[in-house]
Chains A and B, each alone.
Chain A
């Protein structure tokens, strides 16, 4: 009975995952695409739970469905979300090349996994009850994987600085570096420009 329940949950999560993935790629309205991505991430979190990765599943819901998807939705709302048909534009050979490249990649992944690990995939290791729990992950992060932990923090810091710089660039309207100098010369330049144009224009007429 327990096995049956696991299969039912797995099938529901897997089909929801693949279906929402197809929806993200094929829906024309970007707003619905982002909503389908939330469904995709949620069903992936269910799959993570089935693989006894509780902390990663929680982080997935918090980080992706909480932060990343909301950021996507805000940007789409800000930009107005122009509809963009998935098959519109571009030449037809580009579309066929995209489909062929994606299916070739799928075939390569299946071949490599099947050839390299085909015989050993069915025997899973027996894991203890606390495998993947927050306590275990935290202990692992602060002992064996401390370097990865610190590098992750540096990556996040650099990304935050990059986001701030990109936002400042776009707010200054293309000339961000001369912003301080421009503010100083602006009162001098503003009256001088009409003065020269008037002075050049009046004697001619």
Chain B
């Protein structure tokens, strides 16, 4: 056997996903919520690539690249929203943003 096998990578991925979930649920600043979302997406990527390596199939890596593009788009839109909120002097606190009116 060469190096750590699939189980170890999946354990890291699962723990990382739980850390990201904790950040999304716990933090109030929308910036940190976005950063934690990135951690969650990346742990999903790690699981995809691990299973791609285990199955010897490249589809998982292609899916991971697609997830990467979606994550980049999500960051663009999310950061645009946060900057728009800051320019309207809204509080950057996800607990206080309870209405969708501008």
Contact = CB atoms under 8 A, between A and B. Distances in A.
Asked if A and B are interacting partners, one says yes
Interface of A: 2-3, 6-7, 10, 14, 17-18, 21-22, 24-25, 30, 33-34, 37, 40-41, 44, 47-48, 50-53, 55-56, 59-60, 63-64, 67-68, 71-72, 75-76, 78-79, 82, 84, 86-90, 95, 97-99, 101-103, 105-106, 109-110, 113, 121-122, 124-127, 131-132, 136-137, 140-141, 145, 148, 151-152, 155-156, 158-160, 162-163, 166-167, 169-171, 173-174
A82 B86 CA distance: 12
A17 B73 contact: no
A166 B4 contact: no
B42 A41 contact: yes
Nearest to B38: A37
Interface in B1-41: 1-12, 14-23, 25-29, 31-32, 34-36, 38-39
B53 A51 contact: yes
Interface residues of B, number: 76
B39 A131 contact: no
A25 B18 CA distance: 11
Q: Interface on chain B toward A: helix, strand, loop, or mixed SS?
A: helix
Contact of B72 (A63, A76, A145): A63
Contacts of B4: 6-7, 10
A125 B84 contact: no
Contact of B6 (A87, A121, A162): A121
B65 interface: yes
B32 to A, nearest CB: 6
B53 A124 contact: yes
A33 B32 contact: yes
24 contacts: A10-B8, A21-B39, A24-B19, A25-B22, A40-B39, A41-B38, A51-B52, A53-B49, A53-B64, A63-B68, A75-B31, A78-B83, A84-B27, A101-B25, A106-B18, A122-B6, A124-B5, A124-B54, A131-B53, A152-B66, A162-B73, A162-B77, A166-B77, A169-B84
A170 B84 contact: yes
Nearest to A60: B68
